[in-house]
Amino acid sequence: MKSPKLIGVTGGIGAGKSTVCKIFSALSVPVYDADSRAKALLHTDSELKKKIIEAFGEESYNDDGTPNRAYLAGQVFSDEEKTKVINSLVHPAVGKDFQKWVDQNNNHDYLIKEAALLFEAGSYKSLDFVIHVSVPKNDRLNRVLIRDPERSKEQVLDIMDRQWGEGKKKKLADLVVFNDNKQSVLQPIIKLHDQLTRGKEI
């Protein structure tokens, strides 16, 4: 059986990756949400859990076995080295989980992997094609502050500063989709879908 093409969807916080992925879902294309799966694996992956506790201490998990998100967020907030440590533990676990998911969905022409840190983590190298969802920084900041009222402006800017800049991502992406309410997001996605389902080169 021919393996499905693996298509990445990425973009900075507030860019609207989920909006683009909803279009793919509406076209009956399976979507793997790497960020949601990472959160789930912190609950369910015993090996990952053990490594997190070794790196960050027993306080990393609550008495009921759930991740102590406030504690972990406090550990990595504004600490680049600790951010690198937690990413070095979580990203490989997500990579294994993604491969298992691909094997379970290999009857499709192509599959979508949605991930905020696709470029930063280097996982884009294992994909066939990458879509970068682009939106100006100020627009993204305003969207996130409205969407996540529990986050402060400082926290959102800190997250943005840790993500690669637009210019760097655009150079590596195979397709840039502008989700700035001025251009159609739907059109380039439908075009790509047609190419992929007809077996054309992308």
Residue stretches of the annotated binding site: 14-19
Written as six digits, the tokens of 186 are 């739907």
The count of C-alpha atoms lying within 13 angstroms of the C-alpha of 50, restricted to the half-sphere facing its C-beta, is 3
∠ CA(124), CA(130), CA(132), 5° rounding? 110
For 174, the token pair is 């195979």
What number of CA atoms fall less than 13 Å from residue 144's CA on the CB side? Answer: 22
> Binding-site residues for ATP, please?
14-19
Residue type, 190: I
What are residue 32's phi and psi, to 5 degrees?
Answer: -100, 115
